[in-house]
Amino acid sequence: MTFDPAALRFGANGLLPAIAQDATTGEVLMLAWMNADAVARTLETGRVTYWSRSRQAFWVKGETSGNLQHLVEMRLDCDRDALLVLVRQDGPACHTGRRSCFYTAIRDAEEVEIMQPEA
Amino acid sequence: MTFDPAALRFGANGLLPAIAQDATTGEVLMLAWMNADAVARTLETGRVTYWSRSRQAFWVKGETSGNLQHLVEMRLDCDRDALLVLVRQDGPACHTGRRSCFYTAIRDAEEVEIMQPEA
């Protein structure tokens, strides 16, 4: 079946969540949002492109920082309302300089930082 | 810092996306939604509990099917608006019987099923 970005199930805001996962290590790097055009641009360009909810604009990940996400494979889930994007990540994925945005764990009811910014 | 579920940043619907990842293999199993109470219940019970948008009710994953998700660790992202839940998954995570809900890949503009239901 030919894939049509418009046939995904977007939320009321026209967006769905996209999980970026390191294609090699399996590490979950971040979660951001895509609309149908961002999905299409990601597939066309091979550069993972989100929709920035704060800026209300397309967001080519790493376009400013240089920390690009190169698309390896896009997958959709059974409900067609979430995406898993396997990537090759240049540099850190998180704007804090950490490899992943998920660097805070909850352990014994405390927030614990489990990852340092890369040098 | 003590963790307070209410200090997460929920969307307008009071929900945020939670990614379930196999704690051992790193496989991303599914994405579902939690409100503050679902986060608290997950941490208290050790059974991953979502908020079902279709049923508008708490959803203890696997309560009906037996395919429970046992909490290994919960992590939050830099924006505090997404969760990564490391789990030990009993049986398949997907209601279709597949290990993961992300069993459809987009390859050469076609949807390709890359995973079969478990026996």
Return d(Cα B111, Cα A75) in angstroms, integer. Answer: 9
Query: pLDDT of chain B along its 119 residues, tens only?
Result: 999 999 999 999 999 999 999 999 999 999 999 999 999 999 999 999 999 999 999 999 999 999 999 999 999 999 999 999 999 999 999 999 999 999 999 999 999 999 999 97
| Residue B53 DSSP SS3 | coil
Residue A84 belongs to some domain of the structure: yes
Residue A57 belongs to some domain of the structure: yes
Shortest Cα distance from A96 to chain B (angstroms)? 8
Residue B103 belongs to some domain of the structure: no
Mean pLDDT to the nearest integer, A66-90: 98
A39 lies in which domain range?
5-91
Nearest to B110 among A3, A79, A107 (CB): A3
The predicted pLDDT at position B2 comes to: 96
Residue B99 belongs to some domain of the structure: no
Kindly identify which residue of chain A lies nearest to residue B16, measuring between CA atoms: A17
Kindly identify which residue of chain A lies nearest to residue B110, measuring between CA atoms: A2
Q: Which two tokens stand for residue A5?
A: 């970005």
Kindly identify which residue of chain B lies nearest to residue A40, measuring between CA atoms: B109
Q: Which residues pair with B47 in a beta bridge?
A: B70
Nearest to A78 among B19, B95, B109 (CB): B95
* Residues A118, B10 contacting (CB under 8 angstroms): no
Per-residue pLDDT for A108 more than 90?
yes
Residue A114 belongs to some domain of the structure: no
| Residue B45 DSSP SS3 | helix
The predicted pLDDT at position A24 comes to: 98
Q: Is the pTM of this model over 0.90?
A: yes
A86: part of which helix (H) or strand (E)?
Answer: strand A83-89
Residue B28 neighbours by CB distance under 10 Å: 24
Asked if A102's CB is within 8 angstroms of B76's CB, the reply is yes
Asked if A19's CB is within 8 angstroms of B75's CB, the reply is no
The predicted pLDDT at position A96 comes to: 97
Q: What's the longest Cα–Cα distance across chain A?
A: 47
The predicted pLDDT at position B80 comes to: 98
The predicted pLDDT at position B119 comes to: 76
Per-residue pLDDT for A119 more than 80?
no
Residue B66 belongs to some domain of the structure: yes
Residue A34 belongs to some domain of the structure: yes
Query: In whole angstroms, how far apart are CA B2 and each of A101, A109, B15, B34?
Result: 19, 6, 21, 19
For the complex shown, is ipTM > 0.95? Answer: yes
The CATH number assigned to the domain holding B42 equals 3.10.20.810
Q: Write the CB contacts of A53 (distance below 8 Å, at least 6 apart in sequence).
A: A13, A15, A33
Residue A97 belongs to some domain of the structure: no
How much of chain B exceeds pLDDT 90, in percent?
99
The count of structural domains within chain B is 1
The predicted pLDDT at position A74 comes to: 98
Asked if B27's CB is within 8 angstroms of A17's CB, the reply is no
Asked if A77's CB is within 8 angstroms of B105's CB, the reply is no
H helical segments located in chain A: 36-45
| Residue A108 DSSP SS3 | coil
Asked if B102's CB is within 8 angstroms of A75's CB, the reply is yes
